[in-house]
Amino acid sequence: MRIGLVCPYTWDVPGGVQEHVRGLAEALIELGHEVSVIAPAEDESLLPYYVVSAGRAVPVPYNGSVARLAFGFGAVSRVRRWVKDGNFDVLHVHEPTAPSLGLLACWVADDPIVATVHTAIPRSRMLHVAQPILQSALEKISGRIAVSEAARTTLVEHLGGDAVLIPNGVSVRRFEKADPLPGWPGAGGTLGFLGRIDEPRKGLAILLQAFALMAPQRPGLRLLVAGPGDADEALEQVPAGLRGRVVLLGQVSDEDKVRMLHSVDVFCAPNTGGESFGIVLAEAMAAGAPIAASDLDAFRRVLRGGRAGELFETGSAASLAAAAGRLLDDPARRATLAAAASVAVRDYDWKVVARDVLRVYEAVAPAAGRMAVAL
């Protein structure tokens, strides 16, 4: 099939939606489809061959923060030309409610349109005001996808209609092999954490308490943390004598993220809620890290009810310390869990997820889909 993907956010700035579009595009290309992506870009020379630039995005205040969005006559004409030249069987718009390329593509295109909603939008009053503007563009969407139950709820409550749930994918191959960071994990054992360190729901505070419980009995134990946020504030929660054994890497590159996941003996996911899927967990599974995770519904499902990772009582530092301790003392169990995880994570590989997305394309553009099957 000829597929056009529309990414509303700047391609060369890291972000979940960009990551999603990249993973999907590469998986679809691998399955033999013709894919073109349009996205705003800062530096056009760095774009992969399948991405077309829609020009630079402008930082504007939107929905409570500053977002980089592409709009205006320049963007409209670039999108229109791309749609016309692409002659797509299906157009797949990401985040259609963001005032950026996705909305513009819905506006100018006559092809069958599929749209994926990524975020739950809490500020409903804004959408209420915007609804008449969005309505005529969104009416053109023939098939809607939500990446999480929360995103689906937002869509249903604010814009009406329904959506198919297809969770995020992981590029398993990118995570499978990497060298540990120099000096890690070390003989005394290493616990790992990945995520925003100042977002309470990610649960770093619980892990720090658990570390304080475990560290006195385990003199070599260290904690490796990667993710953006205020490092000093986080360190203050650790008893002064243990601070030297907690290393905060801050925001890391994609490559270092993979290496970090290969540098830990036990990967901890102490989230306290609000996780619809747990992409971080799937990435850790792909990297073959043994996992200790909160007993949240979403995590239990991803970890196959505990067969692909140890579950502990959500919010309990003592329970986390016990679970992580058990794993540190039992290399055989760690190996079993890691092996089970690398099998379970295949269900979330982009290759599998992209096939589900293709079925959506075939449902909105049946003629093109049949042609693709026949070829």
Partner 1 sequence: MTAITSVIVIVVLAMIGVYVSWRAGRLDRLHARLEAARFALDAALIRRSSVALELASSGLLDPAASLVLAGAAHDARSARSGQEMPESDLTRALRAVFSQSDFRASLSGAEGAEELLAELEGAAHQVFLARKFYNDAVAATRIARRKWLARALRLAGGAAMPEFFEIDDSLAPAGEDGRGADMPHLTS
Member of 68, 144, 222, 259 binding partner 1 (CB under 8 A): 144
String marking each residue 319-348 x if it binds partner 1 according to CB under 8 A: ----------------------------xx
Best CA proximity match to 2, nearest among 31, 33, 38, 39? 33
Q: Which is nearer to partner 1, 179 or 297 (CB)?
A: 297
For the chain, the distance separating the N- and C-terminal CA atoms, rounded to the nearest angstrom, is: 10
* 143 binding partner 1? (CB under 8 A): yes
User: Three-state SS for 198?
Assistant: coil
Q: How far is the CB of 316 from partner 1 (least distance, A)?
A: 24
- Near partner 1 by CB under 8 A: residue from 59, 74, 161, 228: 161
Q: DSSP 3-state helix, strand, coil percentages of the chain (rounded to 5)? A: 45, 20, 35
3-state SS, residue 81: helix
Q: How many C-alpha atoms does 164 have within 13 Å on its Cβ side?
A: 16
Residue 108, both tokens? 């100018």
Q: Which of the stretches 83-91, 211-219, 285-293, 296-304 binds partner 1 when contact is defined by CB under 8 A?
A: 296-304
Question: With helix as H, strand as E and coil as C, how does 149-195 read?
Answer: HHHHHHHHHHHCCCCEECCCCECHHHHHCCCCCCCCCCCCCEEEEEC
256 sits near partner 1 (criterion: CB under 8 A): no
Q: Does 112 bind partner 1 (CB under 8 A)?
A: yes
Among the listed residues 86, 28, 7, 37, the one whose alpha carbon sits nearest the alpha carbon of residue 372: 28
Minimum distance, C-beta of residue 112 to partner 1, in the bound complex (Å): 7
Decide whether 10 or 276 has the Cβ nearer to partner 1. Answer: 276
| DSSP character string of 247-264 | EE--S--HHHHHHHHTT-
* 375 interacts with partner 1 by CB under 8 A: no
Q: Which is nearer to partner 1, 87 or 251 (CB)?
A: 87
Q: Is 108 in the site for partner 1 (CB under 8 A)?
A: no
Assess 167 for contact with partner 1 (CB under 8 A).
yes
Of the candidate spans 138-146, 173-181, 208-216, 221-229, the one that interacts with partner 1 by CB under 8 A turns out to be 138-146
H or E element in which residue 93 lies: strand 90-94
Least separation in angstroms between residue 351's CB and partner 1 is 12
Task: Kindly state the tokens that stand for 339.
Answer: 């092996």
Q: Which residues bind partner 1 (CB under 8 A)?
A: 112, 136, 139-140, 142-144, 160-167, 277, 298, 301-302, 304, 347-348, 352, 356, 359-360, 362-364, 366
